[in-house]
Structure 1
Amino acid sequence: MKYLSTRGEAANKRFCDILLEGLAPDGGLYLPETYPRVDAATLARWRDLYHRSPQGYADLAFEILSLYIDDIPAEDLRAICRKTYTAEVFGTGEIVPLRHVEDGLWLEALSNGPTLAFKDMAMQLLGNLFEYELARRNGGRGEQLNILGATSGDTGSAAEYAMRGKKGVNVFMTSPHGRMSPFQQAQMFSLQDANIHNLAIQGVFDDCQDIVKAVSNDLDFKRKYKIGTVNSINWARLLAQVVYYFAGYFQSAKNESEKVSFTVPSGNFGNVCAGHVARMMGLPIAKLVVATNENDVLDEFFRTGVYRVRGSADTHETSSPSMDISKASNFERFIFDLLGRDGAKTRALFGEQLNKAGAFDLSQDAAFPAAKAKYGFVSGKSTHADRLRTIRDNWEQHGLMIDPHTADGVKVARQFREAGQPMIVLETALPIKFADTLVEALGREPERPAKFAGIEQLPKRVTVLDKDVQAVKDYIVRHVA
């Protein structure tokens, strides 16, 4: 399997080449040269494996990942998957159990991992892949990787918990200063591991993301200081997320001819892009529903064909803060496919056009109708009042407490479900991570796992920096082991 860049770089790299790299040298995002297709017989075999194997999710992950990874020996890859997806790590042998909410609506539990958010599903695998690949490099003597990331709340803690203590790995995680929930901040900033560095940036998440991309685009600095990324611009992370779409399907569809829809709370487009990949592989997905909050860049595109990024001043601070994103870094992957994999046109849109106008318009492009007709995308928006109402409604009617981001998903999912076709909402996080909003909606605190008791009172280890690329570079240089 070879990989190419969305901006035209030739398909001449294999999985382990791009695992540690992040962005392509031309500034694009990596995708496989082709999406491997699976037929009904393969789906039936995978369904049986998922339900009957003692380590069903791990073995399903191996089957899917092995279609994209041919430079790790099969038994090694299988061992990595089985080491990652265990009941000890994720609290249940099912890993991603499905819960029925109401007629036609299901919730896929993705937040049973160490940091109580769906990001653990990919990050735990990524940590094990990094450790494996770094150890076998340099003739077996090993190499160092310095991870630079950006988080709006959950990526940071998931990455840090997955990488803490990993040999050969340092983590430098940027986050928007003061814009995460108190629980999210405490999860990250309370870690005292020497290889974990928290950098609170005076700005919004998009500023953090821009810094990560700017550093990654400085090829000399990137190579000298061995900079990698764990954000969803890293193909390995997105690939890991493909697995739970198949797992959700196998738990809800009666047979391989039945279609299922998924609703995904979305800000950065990585999670729902994994659904796009699963659909391209042949998973029978009817609709991929993009649910946004007040930062509705993606909803605006799927409704109008206009992709218009917002600046810091126009990015709303909401009660679903992990989606307070106005520049969806993974969106480029879908547009590349939408445009027939035209690297030059994708480069023009995401390079020259966005830099010049802050927007591009595909409403008159012949390809745009395919976003819905061919690729199954639809979208909707949820506001603070919507999410409070949805949280309250689900608690009163179903005894189900959900976090604000998942509430955005449920609210939008209800607009698009169809009789006789399961609609699965991907859970984003457990409610305790956003206790203030749950108290506002329900007048009560969510349950807190014992291991996180008093986490907000623990000593904090964080450095506040200006919104400046050079300041982040300087910090990395001073702290690289």
Structure 2
Amino acid sequence: MKLYNIKYHNEQVSFIQAAKKGLGSKQGLFFPVNLPNFNLDTINSMLKINFIDRSYEILHSYIGNEITSNNLLMCIKNAFSFPVPIKNISHNISCVELFHGPTLAFKDFGGRFLAQILACICDKEKITILTATSGDTGAAISHAFYGMDNIRVVILYPKNRISPLQEKLFCTMGENIETIAIESDFDTCQSLVKMAFDDVYLNKSIHLNSANSINICRLLAQICYYFEALAAFPEEIRNNLVISVPSGNFGNLTAGLLAKSLGLPIKRFIAATNTNNTVPRFLDSGIWEPHITIPTISNAMDVSNPNNWPRIKELFHRKSWKLTDLFYGVVSDEKTKSSISKLDKIGYLSDPHSTIAWHVLKNSIKEKEHGLFLGTAHPAKFQDVIENILNKKIRLPYELTKYNKLPLLSYTMKPNFNILREFLLK
């Protein structure tokens, strides 16, 4: 598999190099030189086989023979070891629940696959995973890499801007997992990570890698659950399926669009955001103008300068698709709260991010279409928010009660790159 740097097309790397490097020069994202495509007969056949074997076909179409078939299949089996259930919400809307992994969020798919791949290709080479999280990535990455020899994980997150239970899931582990609460917002955390990758000496000294969805390895893994979701529906529904994606850093939507590029018959996508709405404003006006990030109850989507948007633009350009065909919707905190209540009244408990996707989908679905929204996190991870909205207690699953009792081990740091650089080099 060959990939090129979107910002510097002459820089081309293999899949293994891209997985190890994370980012290209000038903070450029890697993108496939060749975009594989399956015909409809092949797609229909793939949708009849099991999740693991289908995921192998998808990922092998990108990766090729850089990783042996046995090793790739082993990585997939170890990473995708939990179910992807579909829940019917109403007669024409369903939810694909992506939060049944060990950290109760969709990030487990990409995080676990990346960990398996790096363990497979890095052997005894020492590397440092440096990543930023707006909530769920931190837990997925820390659990996926916990205890791995020769891999140090450093996670930046915005202080006081993620839920207490999200924080407990990855800031209580210790050993090879180090967490830093940055006294700013997620965009600043993301900027600090990019500055580290631009520092040649730092990069070479500690062998930096990223586990954000800027790493193509993590992104490719997420394509697989879109196929799994469609496999649950009969053909007449598949051909009229509209998928609403809660969007913050836009990696999840990028993966869905890559699934469509492979030939998966998705009628249209909806990018659902909170009031940090840089992309919807761009789609409306053609002007890219990130604003100051606004804290919301859907904190994982509090991103004003989404990393993966350049990949979406590149894909639309390569496929000759029109950006005007990408639907979108913006949901305020007040509407999110009322929608959580509405869903609860019809018997479905939903987290704020997934609720935003449902809200936009419900208001834009057309006759004869079937809507599918992505359930990206277990609602219990936002216990305080949801209990305040619904005025009732919700039960915490074991995965959360286990870590909720442990002390936080995070460092607190000013948003200063020199301080971070010294920390990384210690």
**Normalization by structure 2: what TM-score?**
0.96
Match status 1:17 vs 2:17:
yes
Paired position in structure 2 for 1:138 = none
Which residue of structure 2 aligns with residue 337 of structure 1? 315
Q: Give, as a single letter, the amino acid of the residue that structure 2 aligns with 1:456.
A: N
Which of 159, 165, 170 does residue 183 from structure 1 map onto?
165
Q: Which amino acid aligns with 2:314?
A: F
1:456 corresponds to: 404
- Which amino acid letter does the alignment assign opposite residue 189 of structure 2? C
Q: Does 1:231 align with 2:209?
A: no
Q: Distance in 2 between matches of 1:257 and 1:155?
A: 30
2:313 is paired with a residue of what secondary structure?
A: helix
Cα contact 1:215–1:221 (8 A) shared by 2: yes
Give the secondary structure class of the aligned counterpart of 1:274: helix
Paired letter, 1:394: L
Matched residue SS, 1:191: coil
Amino acid across the alignment from 1:24: G
1:382-436 Cα distance to aligned partner (Å, 9 max, x none)? 1111111111111112x11000111111101112212222211011101111112
In 1, Cα distance between the equivalents of 2:7 and 2:234? 37
Counterpart of 2:379 (choices 427, 431, 452) is 431
Q: Take 1:327 and 1:169, find their aligned partners in 2: how far apart are those partners?
A: 29
Q: How far apart are the structure 2 equivalents of 1:276 and 1:47? A: 17
- How many angstroms does 1:448 deviate by? 0.8
Deviations 1:292-325 (A, max 9, x none): 0111112212222222112xxx311111111111
CA shift, 1:256, in A, is: 9.5
Question: Does the Cα contact within 8 Å between 2:202 and 2:425 map onto a contact in 1?
Answer: no
C-alpha distance in 1 between matches for 2:110 and 2:242: 21
Give how far 1:75 is off.
1.5
Partner SS, residue 270 of structure 2? strand
Correspondences of 1:270-309 after superposition (within 5 Å): 270-309=251-290
Pick one of 51, 56, 62 that aligns with 1:57: 51
What is the Cα-based RMSD across aligned positions, in Å?
A: 1.7
Superposition deviation, residue 288 in structure 1: 1.0
Provide the C-alpha distance between the structure 2 equivalents of 1:298 and 1:9, rounded to a whole number of angstroms.
24
**Unmatched 5+ residue regions in structure 2?**
none
Tell me how far apart the structure 2 counterparts of residues 233 and 170 of structure 1 sit (CA, whole Å). Answer: 18
Alignment-derived partner of residue 299 in structure 2: 321
Structure 2 SS opposite 1:276: helix
Checking the alignment, whether the CA contact within 8 Å between 2:103 and 2:399 is kept in structure 1 is no
Say yes or no: does 1:78 pair with 2:30: no
Percent identity of equivalent pairs = 28
Matched with 1:115 is 103
Structure 2: distance between partners of 1:246 and 1:325: 27
Residues in 1 aligned to 2:206 and 2:9: alpha-carbon distance in whole angstroms: 23
- Partner of 1:116, secondary structure, is coil
Tell me the SS of whatever aligns to 1:13: strand
Alignment deviations for residues 206-263 of structure 1 (CA, whole Å, 9 cap, x no partner): 0000000111122332122100000010001110001111111111242697242210
Answer yes or no: is the 8 Å Cα contact 2:238–2:266 preserved in 1. Answer: no
**2:271 is paired with a residue of what secondary structure?**
strand
Deviating runs (4+, > 4 A) in structure 1?
none
* TM alignment of 1:197-212, pairs within 5 A: 197-212=178-193
Cα distance, 1:268 vs structure 2: 0.6
Matches within 5 A, 1:36-435: 36-49=36-49, 56-70=50-64, 71-86=66-81, 90=82, 95-135=83-123, 142-192=124-174, 194-254=175-235, 258-310=239-291, 314-340=292-318, 370-373=322-325, 377-397=326-346, 399-435=347-383
Query: How far apart are the structure 2 equivalents of 1:83 and 1:165?
Result: 16
Instruction: Indicate the residue corresponding to 1:350 in structure 2.
Output: none
Q: TM-score, normalised by structure 1?
A: 0.85
- 1:444 alignment counterpart: 392
